[in-house]
Amino acid sequence: MIKMAIDMMGSDLGPKALAEGVKAFLKNHNDIELHLYGDETILSKLFSEENVYIHNTTQIVPMEVGSLEFLRLKESSMYCALSDTAKNDYDAVVSAGSTGGFLTGATLIIKNIEGVRRAGFCAPFLTMIEGKQVAILDIGASNHNSAEDLHCFAKLGSIYANSVWKLDRPGVYILNNGTEEGKGPQEIKDAYALMKADESLNFKGNVEAREVMSGNCDVVVCQGFPGNIYLKASEGMAKNMSTLLSKAFHHSILTKLSYLLVRKQIKHMKEIMNYKKIGGAITLGLNKVVVKAHGNSDGYSFEHALILAYNMCEANIVEKIKEEFR
């Protein structure tokens, strides 16, 4: 039986939105025990399922929390979910709350698997090939990463793509400013050499940012800072184009009519780009499955964050990483 701890106080949209996600998830998953952390007076009204346990907490971690401030909030839903996961036999912990707080807490409380020099914060990302995802890491847990860190990320991402996506020898790339060997900053050149020499990896070389979502890559490794820029630049452009498209269709009666005729295809296009069905980002290399749901999680998005955690537990990824790094 898979056991998961859930911080119910994290989302911008409040615990009721998250509760919808939990309920939808429970409909399709029976072999599960859920431990919900948050305000008992709210949560006890929302849940009566016998495999759901409510743990009352009295503090909430603010979205823009500093690391030190987070560590003082020991009665918060996020802190208690993390620390009970570390102490108990829970398999996973999920939160939609402050990314900074959650990453700090996960690193200090759940701790790295022995032999993992740096855990990677990883976004499974949608691609142009429907149903095909790409794992990008690190997307911002670190600011700076050494060549050895990048090599570690490559191994972690490769284990993820192999065990969760069931890909045989997933193709691993480095995000760089050109495709030729020898491009980029020194750490990336050195990481290239390390990864090329590692026969356990199916290393494919450099990839430029414009090709990451083509569907050709399974795993893309990068330093946390440019990884974060990559993620947010892509998000920003997607949002800008959606805004312009929406304006175009709202222009007049005729363009509104036009929308009715193409609506089904536009919805399909939005579905291909719908990041909510990924649920969130994951931390690879820690002693438990750790999923950071989107900060603005609604029920649908949070359900998918729980599915993401569940799939990682079922694939036994923590044990597989332990074996690989032994």
Q: For a second copy, give the closer residue by CB, 197 or 233.
A: 233
What gap in Å lies between CA 285 and CA 103, rounded to an integer?
A: 12
Least CB distance from residue 196 to a second copy, whole Å? 20
Least CB distance from residue 103 to a second copy, whole Å? 12
Least CB distance from residue 23 to a second copy, whole Å? 32
Q: For a second copy, give the closer residue by CB, 172 or 175.
A: 175
What gap in Å lies between CA 326 and CA 317, rounded to an integer?
A: 14
Q: For a second copy, give the closer residue by CB, 13 or 209.
A: 209
Least CB distance from residue 38 to a second copy, whole Å? 26
What is the pairing mode between strands 289-293 and 92-95? parallel
Q: Which of 93, 83, 155 is nearest to 120 (CA)?
A: 155
**Helix H or strand E encompassing 253:** helix 253-273
Q: For a second copy, give the closer residue by CB, 91 or 149.
A: 149
CB 179 within 8 A of CB 208: yes
What gap in Å lies between CA 91 and CA 278, rounded to an integer?
A: 20
**Residues interacting with a second copy, by CB under 8 A?**
64, 128, 140, 143-144, 175, 177, 180, 184-186, 208-213, 222, 224-226, 228-241, 243-245, 247-249, 251, 254-255, 257-262, 265-266, 268-269, 272-273
Least CB distance from residue 64 to a second copy, whole Å? 7
Q: For a second copy, give the closer residue by CB, 1 or 254.
A: 254
Place of tokens 């007049």: 252
Q: Both tokens of residue 84?
A: 């009970």
